[in-house]
A and B are shown apart, each in its own frame.
Chain A
């Protein structure tokens, strides 16, 4: 999606978007132009929620990174479990 649509979906302002892109909290994929996807919307909402909880700019990247790591671990555990549960190989 384009930037205006993204701002609306994520409920953030242009200034916030610029700052988050600058900080690397949001990393929309290049797809010809800059294209935002659903995962970017969800991540933006998470950032907004975390800010609402009082997470400051210094702590934000740490938390995001840990959440990404946790997701990686959860995904891996899920795949491993499905492999383990599969009858053979």
Chain B
């Protein structure tokens, strides 16, 4: 520090100790690196201010300086590192209290904290607790909110993301047991089980469904209504659709994380009318004798 300490602090040479202290405090509040972690310029200035105050803040030292016994240089105190220099390392002082309420984003943020390895004997994170939740097939596909009743009678809200799979473990930050010594609470881990559906089968992100198709639609084609997880839709069946034909309904499957959806695959199953139809029987008797070898090739291949 080459500059005159009085100038650095902005005080007159006959200023009282009290005024010097006041001037220092005013500057220090503005310039201290730990209070201005983003301001690199402040650090240099603070160093000068601190050195000047080291000299003038002490009445004895100030008197010796005024008498010329010591000079302003050589009074710089070697400062190792500021507290902010440790801000990027996880330590026992690390705190996520500034954003612990961010909800979904908290998952990402907590991961960042977790990845950098929070240690600490004084602040102990509380233990996790495990729960199981059985969902209806469609609730798992479409997502929604569920509640778990905890052993102590309180309710825990669980948000089911759309497309949740069997065996998925949902992590609810901070819903576990309380931490020790001001440490954060643990998480609640909810394992999801999904009940089967009478109509829909899930394979990955696709839905498979077997659709009974009236004989008339199978022969002539036409529009039919098909159930999907998000509600019934209309599908066009081409004429001459036989049993086992698979049609794809694009984007009618399971919602994915990227906002897209899997597909629904519809397997047709041709059905005769429920009650015997004399007219149809009569027609068949005539039609069958006219084409006795219908599909003969396929049947032969099976050895029938």
Binding site for B on A (CB under 8 A): 9, 27, 29-30, 38-39, 41-43, 45-46, 49, 52-54, 64-65, 67-76, 78-80
Contacts of A64 in B (CB 8 A): 93
Q: B37 to A78, Cβ gap below 8 A?
A: no
CB–CB A30/B82 < 8 A? no
**Contact assessment for A41 and B80 in the assembled complex, using a CB-CB cutoff below 8 Å:** yes
Q: Are A42 and B86 in contact (CB under 8 A)?
A: yes
Across the interface, do A65 and B95 meet the contact criterion of CB distance under 8 Å?
yes
Interface assignment of B279: CB less than 8 Å from any CB of chain A? no
Binding site of A, secondary structure by majority: helix, strand, loop or mixed? helix
* Interface SS of B by simple majority: loop
Q: Nearest Cβ in chain B — how far from A19, in angstroms?
A: 17
Identify which of B28, B92, B97 contacts A72 (C-beta below 8 A): B97
Contact A76 B82 (CB under 8 A): no
Q: Contact between B99 and A76 (Cβ–Cβ < 8 Å)?
A: yes
| Interface range, B side | 35 or more
State the CA gap A17–B34 with chains docked (Å).
Answer: 20
Which of chain A's residues have a CB closer than 8 A to the CB of B53? 52
B274 within 8 A of A: no
| Closest residue of B by beta carbon distance from A10 | B80
Interface flag for B87 (CB, 8 Å): yes
CB contact under 8 A between A29 and B92, given known A38-B86, A72-B99: yes
Q: Which residue of B lies closest to A47 (CB)?
A: B83
The reply to whether A71 and B94 form a contact with Cβ atoms under 8 Å apart is yes
Selected from A39, A43, A67, A69, the residue in CB contact (under 8 A) with B89 is A39
Q: Per-residue 0/1 for B23-38: is the Cβ within 8 Å of any A Cβ (1 yes, 0 no)? A: 0110011001011011
Q: Which of B50, B85, B94 is the most central at the interface, judged by chain A CB atoms within 10 Å of its CB?
A: B94
* Cα–Cα, bound, A65→B82 (Å): 16
